[in-house]
Amino acid sequence: MSSDTHVYSYSAVLMGSPILLKLFDHNEALAGAVFRVIKQQEILLTVNRPQSEVMSVNHAAGVEPVVVSQPVFDLIARARAVSVLPESLFNVTIGPLVKRWKIGFHGDSVPPAEELQALLPLTNPQQVILDPAARSVFLPQRGMEIDLGAIAKGYIADRVRDFLRQQGVEHALINLGGNVQTLGGTPDSEAPGWGIGLKKPFGAPEELIGVITVSGKSVVTSGVYERYFELAGKRYHHILDPASGYPLDNELLSVTVISEDSIDGDIYTTLLYGMGVKKGLDYLANTPEIEAVFVTRDRQVICSSQRQFSFTLLDADFHAV
């Protein structure tokens, strides 16, 4: 960076993740306000606390519809719509399976097959009843649970971007632990893009496969190495296949999505995970607003068209194709 551009980094731990904010002004008060925006949103959406708007819906499953705020209603509606797409891996009603596996939380274990089988009928997203006029959400079976874990961080990253824009900020980066959203590029004319590291799966935190460079875009990565546990030499990671009830097993180690809105990044990482590389690339060829970088178990790094980003490979053990 040239000498007149100084980056100020602010960090916090929120939503169980390390949060990093980068600004080009020294502004503690603004950083504090950003962290408050994140907390306010988490309080509405989380399923990792006893109380939230989403938990109120879950507690009333099989009993009655629950009225939620308009943003939460819209988010659940979006998550439901994505869940009912043909062959979608994304499932907004995955909650009972997530809670049973507890992957990445204390007490994670491989549940007996018959227990998982018994939970599958509680994970049908078609059954979520939305009433836009009443702004209510109803889960008709007792035991059904909404889980917004695959979409909430993206949604919140966009709210942070909107907030910073309202405050007149032109250049900033927010990283919500795997979900990065940027405002503009950096003010440095020599290096105007934000370089965002693509982590080496199962490597040390600072080990990178390469760098994705963007301006004013979101970069979201979902990987099997983010949250998992090992038992008898087998790894169980946190992206579950709603068809089987088990972690999804395919050729992928991670999917990174580059898009305007981070909510799309969060949704599409999950959808593309389910599609795999071949179907995923076919899909992206007809969806120019969404771009992706796939990392496979055989150490290939496969990029879509690179109109919205550029990729630099750093690790010679991986091959860019």
Give binding residues for Mg(2+) as ranges. 150, 266, 270
- Residue 145 touching Mg ion (CB under 5 A): no
Answer with the entry of ligand ADP, Mg ion, none that 147 interacts with (C-beta below 5 to 8 A by kind).
ligand ADP
174 exposed, middle or buried (CB, 10 Å; 0-12, 13-18, 19+)?
buried
For the chain, how many residues are written? 321
Q: Residues marked as binding? A: 150, 266, 270
CA dist 139 and 9 (Å) reads: 42
Concatenate the DSSP letters of all residues of 191-224 into one string: S-SEEEEEEPTTS-TT-EEEEEEESS-EEEEEET
Q: Which residue has the tokens 């006893």?
A: 50
Q: Quick one: which H or E segment has residue 279?
A: helix 262-285
DSSP state of 127: G
CA-based Rg of the chain, rounded to a whole angstrom?
Answer: 20
Stretch near Mg ion under the rule CB under 5 A, chosen from 49-57, 62-70, 145-153, 256-264: 145-153
Q: Indicate the residue among 221 and 304 with the shorter CB distance to ligand ADP.
A: 221
CA dist 277 and 283 (Å) reads: 10
Residue with the shortest CB distance to ligand ADP:
149
234: its two tokens: 């087998």
> Minimal CA–CA distance to 92: which of 137, 52, 60, 134?
137
Which residues here bind ligand ADP, judged by CB under 6 A?
A: 89-91, 94, 98, 147, 149-150, 153, 178, 222, 226, 238-240, 242, 266, 269-270
- Which of 38, 150, 169, 173 binds Mg ion (CB under 5 A)? It is 150
Closest distance of CB 59 from ligand ADP, Å: 18
Concatenate the DSSP letters of all residues of 55-95 into one string: HHHHHTTTT--EE--HHHHHHHHHHHHHHTSTT----TT-H
Q: Indicate the residue among 153 and 217 with the shorter CB distance to ligand ADP.
A: 153
Answer with the entry of ligand ADP, Mg ion, none that 125 interacts with (C-beta below 5 to 8 A by kind).
none
Q: Indicate the residue among 269 and 308 with the shorter CB distance to Mg ion.
A: 269
CA dist 245 and 247 (Å) reads: 7
For the packed helices 262-285 and 152-166, what is the interaxial angle rounded to 10 degrees?
A: 120
DSSP state of 184: S
Closest distance of CB 16 from ligand ADP, Å: 9
* 3-class SS of residue 134: coil
Closest distance of CB 273 from Mg ion, Å: 9
Site string for Mg ion, 256-295 (x = CB under 5 A): ----------x--xx-------------------------
Closest distance of CB 227 from ligand ADP, Å: 6
Closest distance of CB 238 from Mg ion, Å: 10
49: its two tokens: 């606390």
Q: Indicate the residue among 23 and 160 with the shorter CB distance to Mg ion.
A: 160
Answer with the entry of ligand ADP, Mg ion, none that 128 interacts with (C-beta below 5 to 8 A by kind).
none
Closest distance of CB 158 from Mg ion, Å: 13
Closest distance of CB 225 from ligand ADP, Å: 10
Q: Please check whether residue 190 is in contact with residue 222, taking contact to mean a CB–CB distance below 8 angstroms.
A: no
Stretch near Mg ion under the rule CB under 5 A, chosen from 40-48, 50-58, 95-103, 143-151: 143-151
Q: Which residues bind Mg ion (CB under 5 A)?
A: 150, 153, 222, 266, 269-270
